Structure 1
Amino acid sequence: MTTVQLQYYAQLREQAGRSSETVSTAAADLRALYRELRERHGFSLDSDALKVAVNNEFSTWDRALHEGDTVVFIPPVAGG
């Protein structure tokens, strides 16, 4: 199990009911982690609609998770 810090913004924050959490996961990569969280929190967005960052740097979805990583899933933002 790997323990990671998660931060949620916008729609994901609303659906999770929190802006951050710490989770222990058996997920091997970011895509698997998001699938796990989507099931847990009922996220309506598919991973293809999101960007992801790890430790303050944009990342690809196949990046392996490491103990203590900070992961941010970034939903699309509407503006005017």
Structure 2
Amino acid sequence: MTYVITQPCEGVKDGACIDVCPVDCIEGTPDTPMLYIDPEVCVDCAACTSVCPVDAIYPDDEVPEEWERYTKINADYFGRGEAGDDDE
């Protein structure tokens, strides 16, 4: 499983999640609208969820329906395609 950053992060990009991530799987730039979690690097530790000031981070199987597209948006940011795809 992986975590997904969703719509509430857009425009906020607090960065606290980056600071607590033990595997550095959260990225973004000043030019991106939000931060993103790499689904292949995330170790499902949940450290990011408790520090997010806008409650934008969810386990991939608990993303609210209206924000499900963010699972793909996060994966696409890292060139991963759909999160959870195993093409190997």
Fold-level match, TM-score > 0.5? no
TM-score normalised to structure 1 length? 0.31
Structure with bigger strand share is: 1
